[in-house]
Chain A
């Protein structure tokens, strides 16, 4: 019977209005909506959603509590496996994870697990839930490098096990991509990210900002001089890629990391802050991932005409379905099967346009993806004054370069086994630093696994 209720729609800011502000697009469920949506869950005996969640949250159990109206208990259940439900409920690609495996999705719409999780997380931030149990201090110290999702997850779990944990963060703010990458309109910084991080600190985790491990201190210093028993590397993949086409160093060409860091971390869109941002009249964002969507929607909000240029077709867009949908509603133009060949400049060295070629999809390659092939003679120009390159990122080579015995692969990723152990004894790694750019929740999953491995390592030492 529960099946008969359609998926409860979520309230959102009007597209015309929100395209001019940085406030959150999605309002989320209220109590009634969350409880109604929770009633759709069939409470499967072998819940496929749990297996598809990278941190294996006990989804039917917490949804059961939401259905009964016991949000405190629901938050406790999530808290056993995730410290950041308000964040993950907002940014996880649920369609390819928990919700993608929901039985209801076979014939109809899956349970809105992400939206219910988000409701529970926000409820806890507002009402204060039960603090997770923290074991007495065991006298061991662990250093965590990077305060992004993998570092926060690893630090939370280790603190709960009784470790003295300190996170070292290179930037002035805590959260990694949660603060510099994902925009305010998708993930509010003060109301959600900062407060969820406060909950990690409440577990006893210390955070030191402005420390660039590899420069300010080295991993060897931390282990030999500062008495850390183990180190977790959660430094992410922050090194932007460029295309290597002519004109890439013209004024007006920026990496998505730079564009988003200026907007999100430095608040360049707010006149109270000193950091400038250059937007121009028309912005072309090259790429099709979540970062490209974030950049193009940010450009739109800063008043520019904003275009996505992507070399494959819409079906292959790696961005979340919800974000592509939101971008379209906000009036973003999508130019699919289009690849930049050259950035054109004016006589003063500023961008005046992008020369592109049309593409068509060839045969599937060994990875199963159809690779795009240029259509000869199909060159055309898109006039624009800003080009944002959102082509993906790789891990920063600094840590590997300054840590003896830490092996990396040819893409610069730290080599680690399934539990996060690296080639260097006592040094563990997880998240984008190991996999290359992936998702928030996969990074959290890797952080949790490494925390268990670190515990075993320290106890066996």
Chain B
């Protein structure tokens, strides 16, 4: 069974869990994800792997409560088990297959937004362990929502922070900070990797396209099985339809049709909102009538 070995909150509504999953821990690489199901009635939810330890047989995931399913996941406590925990899925990040002497000539820039900071960590950690330079930008709405700053500082060459309200680091969006690093500070990068909300990745792609700086994004499309059998996660990349779960999740940011991807992410929004409303009412002991009149 997939026991939760450790659970702690990194910020309000952002929960870290270390899960006993020895097979996955042994084969996981940076960039890959898992599909989890909290219980028998649960959805299959894709979550990017935030860390893995082959010796301890554990895999770390970080979840932000945004709907019914993520709330259920975060309600599980240490000692309890996930009904299902499958992976590692998707392709590992491209760099794990590159020759190290080539890779060591490159300077990476990682741009992490919100809960997307967690999956950036194993990538930077891997590069650091292999002697590759990587700077990291972490963006959050406000200081209290920043996560992984200490862990990231330990593996990044330089860590930059941006908050929308200026409560820590650069005052503004990550895109503004990227412009400042490249234009004002004259920093040179060979590859940018951006992980975060779709809208952030879209604007990072737009920003780096101007230089031009090769940019990779990890897409968080809707998924069901995560193994390539349904196409729920399809995206248009370079004019071609690709399945995020098997062809990705990482793609060339300058080829991704972000507007389509964002529109597709909202396909079940009505149902999700209805489910959230019903769950909230149930929690308060009301009998919900939303949807019953349909």
Decide yes or no whether B224 CB sits under 8 A from chain A. Answer: yes
| CB-CB contacts below 8 Å: A260-282 with B | 261-262, 266-267, 272-278
Stretch at the interface among B177-185, B196-204, B228-236: B228-236
**Closest residue of chain B to A401, judged by CB?**
B246
CB <8 Å contact, B246 and A398 = yes
Q: How far is the CA of A86 from the CA of B266 in the complex (A)?
A: 41
Q: How far is the CA of A393 from the CA of B231 in the complex (A)?
A: 12
CB <8 Å contact, B44 and A249 = no
Size of interface on A: residues with Cβ below 8 Å to B: 39
* Other-chain contact of A215, B68, B85, B87, B275 (Cβ < 8 Å): B87
Decide yes or no whether A223 CB sits under 8 A from chain B. Answer: no
CB <8 Å contact, A398 and B23 = no
Q: How far is the CB of B131 from chain A (nearest CB, A)?
A: 27
CB <8 Å contact, B229 and A216 = no
Q: How far is the CA of A251 from the CA of B268 in the complex (A)?
A: 9
Decide yes or no whether A400 CB sits under 8 A from chain B. Answer: no
Decide yes or no whether A240 CB sits under 8 A from chain B. Answer: yes
**Closest residue of chain B to A248, judged by CB?**
B241
Q: How far is the CB of B282 from chain A (nearest CB, A)?
A: 12
Q: How far is the CA of A171 from the CA of B27 in the complex (A)?
A: 18
Stretch at the interface among A89-97, A183-191, A204-212: A204-212
Decide yes or no whether A361 CB sits under 8 A from chain B. Answer: no
Q: List, in ascending order, chain B residues with CB within 8 A of A261's CB.
A: 224-225, 229-230
Stretch at the interface among B35-43, B110-118, B143-151, B156-164: B35-43
Decide yes or no whether B88 CB sits under 8 A from chain A. Answer: yes
Q: List, in ascending order, chain B residues with CB within 8 A of A278's CB.
A: 267-268, 271
Q: How far is the CA of A296 from the CA of B32 in the complex (A)?
A: 35
With A276-B272, A349-B263 as contacts: A216 and B23 at CB distance below 8 Å: yes
CB <8 Å contact, B228 and A266 = no
* Other-chain contact of B37, A172, A239, A255 (Cβ < 8 Å): A172
CB <8 Å contact, A257 and B83 = no
B67-98: CB near A (< 8 Å → 1, else 0) gives 01100100000000001111111000000000
Q: How far is the CA of A209 from the CA of B68 in the complex (A)?
A: 25
Decide yes or no whether B264 CB sits under 8 A from chain A. Answer: yes
Q: List, in ascending order, chain A residues with CB within 8 A of B85's CB.
A: 210
* Other-chain contact of B229, A215, A242, A274, A396 (Cβ < 8 Å): A396
* Other-chain contact of B228, A210, A238, A251, A349 (Cβ < 8 Å): A238
CB <8 Å contact, B224 and A249 = no
CB <8 Å contact, A251 and B267 = yes
Main DSSP-derived SS at the A contact region: loop
Q: How far is the CA of A397 from the CA of B91 in the complex (A)?
A: 13
Decide yes or no whether A254 CB sits under 8 A from chain B. Answer: yes
**Closest residue of chain A to B259, judged by CB?**
A349
Q: How far is the CA of A254 from the CA of B72 in the complex (A)?
A: 27
Q: How far is the CB of B73 from chain A (nearest CB, A)?
A: 11
Q: How far is the CB of B254 from chain A (nearest CB, A)?
A: 19
Interface centre among B234, B241, B260 (most CB of A within 10 A): B234
* Other-chain contact of A212, B89, B266, B275 (Cβ < 8 Å): B89
Q: How far is the CA of A172 from the CA of B235 in the complex (A)?
A: 25
Decide yes or no whether A170 CB sits under 8 A from chain B. Answer: yes
Q: How far is the CA of A349 from the CA of B246 in the complex (A)?
A: 25
Q: How far is the CA of A25 from the CA of B221 in the complex (A)?
A: 36
Decide yes or no whether B207 CB sits under 8 A from chain A. Answer: no
Decide yes or no whether A360 CB sits under 8 A from chain B. Answer: no
Q: How far is the CA of A217 from the CA of B272 in the complex (A)?
A: 34
Q: How far is the CB of A322 from chain B (nearest CB, A)?
A: 26
| CB-CB contacts below 8 Å: A199-253 with B | 209-212, 215-217, 238-240, 242, 248-249, 251-252
Decide yes or no whether B142 CB sits under 8 A from chain A. Answer: no
Decide yes or no whether A258 CB sits under 8 A from chain B. Answer: yes
CB <8 Å contact, B27 and A255 = no
**Closest residue of chain B to A238, judged by CB?**
B229
CB <8 Å contact, A216 and B24 = yes
CB <8 Å contact, B231 and A217 = no
Q: How far is the CB of B45 from chain A (nearest CB, A)?
A: 9
CB <8 Å contact, B236 and A172 = no
**Closest residue of chain B to A251, judged by CB?**
B267
Q: How far is the CB of A256 from chain B (nearest CB, A)?
A: 9
Q: List, in ascending order, chain B residues with CB within 8 A of A266's CB.
A: 43-44, 224
Q: List, in ascending order, chain A residues with CB within 8 A of B235's CB.
A: 249
Q: How far is the CA of A267 from the CA of B43 in the complex (A)?
A: 10
* Other-chain contact of B42, A240, A274, A348, A393 (Cβ < 8 Å): A274
Decide yes or no whether B227 CB sits under 8 A from chain A. Answer: yes
CB <8 Å contact, A274 and B68 = yes
| CB-CB contacts below 8 Å: B233-264 with A | 234-236, 241, 246, 260, 263-264
CB <8 Å contact, B275 and A276 = yes
Interface centre among A172, A211, A240 (most CB of B within 10 A): A172
Q: How far is the CB of B178 from chain A (nearest CB, A)?
A: 29
**Closest residue of chain A to B236, judged by CB?**
A249
CB <8 Å contact, B27 and A216 = yes
* Other-chain contact of B227, A170, A217, A262, A275 (Cβ < 8 Å): A170
Interface centre among A171, A217, A278, A396 (most CB of B within 10 A): A171
Q: How far is the CB of A138 from chain B (nearest CB, A)?
A: 27
CB <8 Å contact, A251 and B83 = no
Q: How far is the CA of A274 from the CA of B68 in the complex (A)?
A: 8
Q: List, in ascending order, chain A residues with CB within 8 A of B68's CB.
A: 274
CB <8 Å contact, B86 and A258 = no
Q: How far is the CB of B257 from chain A (nearest CB, A)?
A: 8
Q: List, in ascending order, chain A residues with CB within 8 A of B272's CB.
A: 276
* Other-chain contact of B232, A211, A248, A254 (Cβ < 8 Å): A254
With A278-B267, A278-B271 as contacts: A172 and B231 at CB distance below 8 Å: no
Q: How far is the CA of A284 from the CA of B275 in the complex (A)?
A: 26
B165-188: CB near A (< 8 Å → 1, else 0) gives 000000000000000000000000
Q: List, in ascending order, chain A residues with CB within 8 A of B37's CB.
A: 172
**Closest residue of chain A to B263, judged by CB?**
A349
Known contacts A238-B229, A249-B260; 17 additional CB pairs below 8 A are A170-B225, A172-B86, A210-B85, A212-B86, A240-B229, A249-B234, A249-B236, A249-B264, A254-B232, A255-B230, A258-B232, A261-B224, A261-B225, A262-B224, A266-B43, A274-B42, A274-B68
Q: What are 20 inter-chain pairs, A to B, with CB distance below 8 A?
A: A170-B227, A172-B44, A210-B84, A212-B227, A217-B27, A238-B228, A240-B230, A249-B264, A258-B232, A261-B225, A261-B229, A261-B230, A266-B44, A272-B41, A273-B41, A274-B69, A275-B224, A276-B272, A393-B229, A396-B227
Q: What 10 pairs across the A-B complex have the smallest Cβ distances?
A: A238-B229, A258-B230, A276-B271, A210-B86, A172-B84, A276-B268, A274-B43, A349-B263, A257-B230, A255-B231
